Amino acid sequence: MKNNFIQRTLTGALLVALIVSLILFNNILFTALMCAVALGCAHELHSLINLTNAHLKTTSFITVTVAFLLLSGLGVQVGSSLTIAVTLGFILLIPMVSSLFIRDSNALEQSFLTIVPVVYVAIPLGILPRFIDVIPGRPDQPVMILSLFVLIWVNDTFAYLTGISIGRHRLFERVSPKKSWEGAIGGLLFSLGAAFGLFEITGLMILPIWLGLAIVVVIFGIFGDLLESLLKRSKGVKDSGDLLPGHGGLLDRFDAVLLSVPAAWIYLSIVLI
């Protein structure tokens, strides 16, 4: 138990240090890291959703990569939002076309599964580097990306600590028996406190917008966590993988990111008009 805690702490500290340093000092390398994370998450997701066809797995990795590059701007630059939307829609059709060349009775069904990693993994992680320019008229603000991670990490940490301390009422027992309403509320309160701190430190947005961002991140972070728990429960596994010692897989560490990032993008796009 003690060794697992030490292992978990060291792995977490190294991961946080890597992400923070790349966000603040080199957005291109951070984007490359997120691309690698997207491919790793896709690999774990293939197992959880039972995508077994080897050819379609390869096609899935290709579509995840292309979708990520398209959205993040790493390696390709596109014009309008309509161009991005149309191209992304076309990318989602590629696995279905490739199923024509696969001699497998369930090839078409399997091809539909390749859409899941693009929507669930590539889109959220692809738009994450774009938060550097999310504030109109204030481009090149890497602290906005860091702020998202801070809110997610604060929520995860204090939801856990509050839950194990005073958690009594189960939040969603069918999917995740250990999560409690007390933990969720504790995570939210500390995230609101973190949002106030970010407002004071950065001065990039007014306080109500920061507080709203914290609420959005917490709510959709919880849904992201529960969704990944449901995927693991359907497969009968504890972790999505074993890449991160003491933590499990990449999906286990980025589950909250995958839903909270698109939700935060939509929220900020509306309130910062």
* Tens digits of residue pLDDT in 239-268: 898 888 877 899 999 999 999 999 999 999
Q: Exposed (0-12), middle (13-18) or buried (19+): which is 94, by Cβ within 10 Å?
A: middle
Q: Could you report the per-residue pLDDT of 198-217, keeping only the tens digit for each?
A: 999 999 999 999 999 999 99
As given in the structure block, the two tokens for residue 256 are: 């909250």
Q: Could you report the per-residue pLDDT of 153-170, keeping only the tens digit for each?
A: 999 999 999 999 998 888
Q: Compute φ and ψ for 170, nearest 5 degrees.
A: -70, 135
Please tell me the least confidently modeled range out of 44-48, 63-67, 77-81, 248-252: 77-81
Q: Could you report the per-residue pLDDT of 11-21, keeping only the tens digit for each?
A: 888 999 999 99
Q: Compute φ and ψ for 102, nearest 5 degrees.
A: -110, 125
Q: Measured between alpha carbons, how far apart are the two ends of the chain, in Å?
A: 50
Whether 3 has a pLDDT exceeding 80, the answer reads no
% of the chain exceeding 70 in pLDDT: 96
As given in the structure block, the two tokens for residue 65 are: 């990569």
Q: How crowded is residue 80: how many other Cβ atoms within 10 Å of its Cβ?
A: 8
Q: Could you report the per-residue pLDDT of 179-205, keeping only the tens digit for each?
A: 899 999 999 999 999 999 999 999 999
Q: How far is CA 56 from the centre of its chain?
A: 23
With beta carbons less than 8 A apart as the criterion, state whether 247 and 12 touch: yes
Q: What is the pTM of this model?
A: 0.92
Q: Compute φ and ψ for 214, nearest 5 degrees.
A: -60, -45
As given in the structure block, the two tokens for residue 18 are: 């890597």
With beta carbons less than 8 A apart as the criterion, state whether 64 and 118 touch: yes
pLDDT at 190: 97
CA distance 135 to 147: 13
Which stretches within 49-172 are classed as H helix? 54-72, 81-98, 107-113, 115-117, 123-127, 143-166
Q: What is the DSSP letter of 171?
A: E
Q: Where are the domains of the chain?
A: 2-271
Alpha carbon distances (Å) from 199 to 29, 133, 147, 207, 210: 27, 17, 10, 6, 7
